[in-house]
A and B are shown apart, each in its own frame.
Chain A
Amino acid sequence: MDILDILFSAAFWAATVRIASPLIFATLGELLCERAGVLNLGIEGIMVAGAFAGWIAVWAGLPLWGGVAVAFLVGAMLGGVHSVLSVPFGLSQHVVGIGMTLLATSLTFYMYRVILPEVSSPPKITAFQPLDIPVLSDIPFFGAALFSQTALTYLAFLLAAVMAYVLYRTPLGLAVRAAGERPEAVATQGLSVTAIRMGAVIVGSGLMAIGGAFLTLSAFDSFFFEMVNGRGWICIALVVFGAWRPGKAVLGALLFAAFDAFQIRLQQTPMGAFLPYQFFLMMPYILSILALIVMSRRADVPAALMVPFNKGER
């Protein structure tokens, strides 16, 4: 198999879209938080918690969409804790975020062991199955690549469109953007910066959790401790790469996923035998750092990102 074979296989593009899906959910969630002015470093832990919560809910008997809803709620609750500490109390968003990741991760592992004390390998569930979109999925090549995905993947792309619409075409989105640019502008127009920012962090965290749940409910059918494996941090880089815009963030996630799908396939080529597998696995992280470096000179960062707003501060 050579490089062109990889690029011209529908399976490669299908994998790209699949790998991008959880990143899109979580990146949009982080983007929402940052657009309102809050850096949410709890993302990694919230994704772990979402992956577990969605999966365990389905294992306990809920339908798959019930699992997605549970994941969202768990993420929103963790986001609620983050937002209380980081918004009205204005604590360091770095410290709160790292603390939230440690807390969410350890809570998840703890609950896993409490609920499943003696298992050596986690039970499996019946995950989301690919949903062929009528007509579109019959298109040669593109059908198999793009329109034979699970419902959750379609939702990810729909969500990106909704997010773009809300941010740029509704009064609420305007308020969110203004809260991340100049909270004083929001406060003097009679809106509550605190409510807007907390809301954005809560909803954004819910979306991150759905990103985690995608792994257990769609990409795989079970939960493993190391399954999120830095994807949250990668999403933070993707937000920067996407210049804080939903459309560009989706493109970034797809580009990133394409590289990931490519390196997986490359490992099976003669080149893969030549280079130790660890170097392939490093690619996503190296790519993320490169993305940050490339985008470092851009001035799109929300002006009030990480700046706490204390009403009536003198």
Chain B
Amino acid sequence: MRLEPISAPTPARRIVPPVLALVATLVVTSVLVMIAGRAPGDVLRQIVIGAVGSKFALLETLNRTTPLIFTGLAVAVAFRAKLWNIGAEAQLYAGAVITVILGTGAMSAPSFVMLPVLAVAAFIAGALILLGPVILKTRLGVDEVVTTLLFNFIFLLFVSFLLEGPLKDPMGMGWPKSARMLPEGRLPRIFDGVRLHWGFGVALIAALVIWVMDAKSTLGFEMRAVGQNRDAARFAGIPVTSVMIKTAVISGGLAALAGFSEVSGLKGSLTLDLSPGFGYTGIVVAMLALLHPLGVVVAAFFVAAIFVGADSMSRAIGVPSYIADIMLASALLFMVLAILLTKFRVRRD
């Protein structure tokens, strides 16, 4: 077989493959649900109800959306420039660690000073974490996929050390857990009485900023050029290495904001299970969003809904909640194939 580029795709060409990808994802899910001996219809309905069926469920979903917007943006920004940052998990924890260090007593300041300081510190921490692999890549050509992946393991062990050592809460009954954040270091709720913190608002603003940067700024233009064709970008005088480093700073920083927002907005302290793989899920979010910053918001909500819905479904019906991860992984693979098929025709000769 051979792939032939389509010069002017028809509307059907653009729409049908992605729709088929969603259908295929549902088929795979249904088969697995049937293997577990349950009815796919019930399971899917329960996932929807569990995700958006009540005010409580919706808020739960929105709270889960927040970190995914940050990590999704982090991955989207990096992937656009063909910087394969698979280390958002480590960067997230780096942001969380700094937030906890500064927010549990290392500094004291009123909320309107403390919160920006925490966010900026977290951003810088995440950026620094990604700089190592990026410099190894630009200087020595070491593949950043493997180094960022391996760094996730290293940094998580480091966090584990911190939580059992220097950052351990003396009042924590021996659990590996940090002290609680000072009230000035906590992100307030957006509406009184509604369990949704400002982390969500910051995430939406971040998506807007990245979108505007992407479309209108010289840096955004340079990042896209470097991602699409490094040789042409270099030839045209775009400083490729410096653009890669700026990309890394933004990407790592965004992932770290997820850690800041989770600690300061939601949890109030740091534990080793702060992130159930938000860094990795960010990859799925970014890919489903076709790396578009505003698409990330939608995709993050969709992904969060599936996770929250699957948890609730699992409690109600008993199908393991890992079905959510399977749905997302298969949606990711079907979707990248579908996007290819919107641009290329498969010929048999």
Binding site for B on A (CB under 8 A): 41, 81, 85, 88-92, 94-96, 98-100, 102-103, 105-107, 109-110, 113-114, 117, 229-230, 233-234, 236-237, 240, 276, 278-279, 281-282, 285-286, 288-289, 292-293, 296-297, 310-312
Contact = CB atoms under 8 A, between A and B. Distances in A.
Contacts, number: 123
Is the contact region of chain B dominated by helix, strand, or loop, or is it mixed?
helix
B154 interface: yes
B158 A282 contact: yes
A43 B340 CA distance: 24
A105 B322 CA distance: 9
B332 interface: yes
B32 interface: yes
Contacts of A297: 140-141
Contacts of B340: 89, 91
Interface of B: 1-3, 32, 35-36, 84, 86, 136, 140-143, 145-147, 149-151, 153-154, 157-158, 160-161, 164-165, 280, 283-284, 287, 318-320, 322-323, 325-326, 328-330, 332-333, 336-337, 340
A63 to B, nearest CB: 25
B145 A94 contact: yes
Contacts of B165: 276
Given A41-B145, A110-B326, A117-B318, A100 B333 contact: yes
A106 B146 contact: no
B143 A292 contact: yes
A15 to B, nearest CB: 21
A233 B146 contact: yes
Nearest to A287: B150
A89 B344 CA distance: 10
Nearest to A110: B322
A20 to B, nearest CB: 18
B336 A109 contact: no
- Identify which of B2, B84, B136, B146 gathers the most chain A CB atoms within 10 Å of its CB: B146
B149 A109 contact: no
Contacts of B287: 95, 99
Given A103-B326, A276-B161, A310 B3 contact: yes
Contacts of A282: 153-154, 157-158
B1 A289 contact: no
Contacts of B332: 95, 99, 102
B322 A296 contact: no
B337 A113 contact: no
5 contacts: A85-B333, A102-B280, A117-B320, A292-B143, A296-B142
Given A91-B336, A114-B320, A230-B153, A292 B147 contact: yes
A290 to B, nearest CB: 10
A289 B151 contact: yes
A109 B322 contact: yes
A288 B143 CA distance: 12
B153 A229 contact: yes
B164 A102 contact: no
Nearest to A194: B1
A199 B161 CA distance: 44
B2 A311 contact: yes
Contacts of B164: 276, 278
B337 A278 contact: no
A289 B328 contact: no
A149 to B, nearest CB: 27
A103 B320 contact: no
A278 B333 contact: no
Nearest to A297: B140
Contacts of B2: 310-312
Contacts of A281: 157
A236 B149 CA distance: 11
A233 B150 CA distance: 7
Contacts of B143: 240, 292
A93 B41 CA distance: 34
Contacts of B318: 117
Given A237-B150, A278-B164, 4 more contacts: A229-B153, A233-B149, A296-B136, A311-B2
Most chain B beta-carbon contacts within 10 A, residue among A229, A278, A286: A278
A114 B34 CA distance: 11
B160 to A, nearest CB: 5
Contact of B150 (A81, A105, A114, A230): A230
Contact of A289 (B84, B150, B161, B336): B150
Given A276-B164, A296-B142, A105 B325 contact: yes
Contacts of B326: 103, 106-107, 110
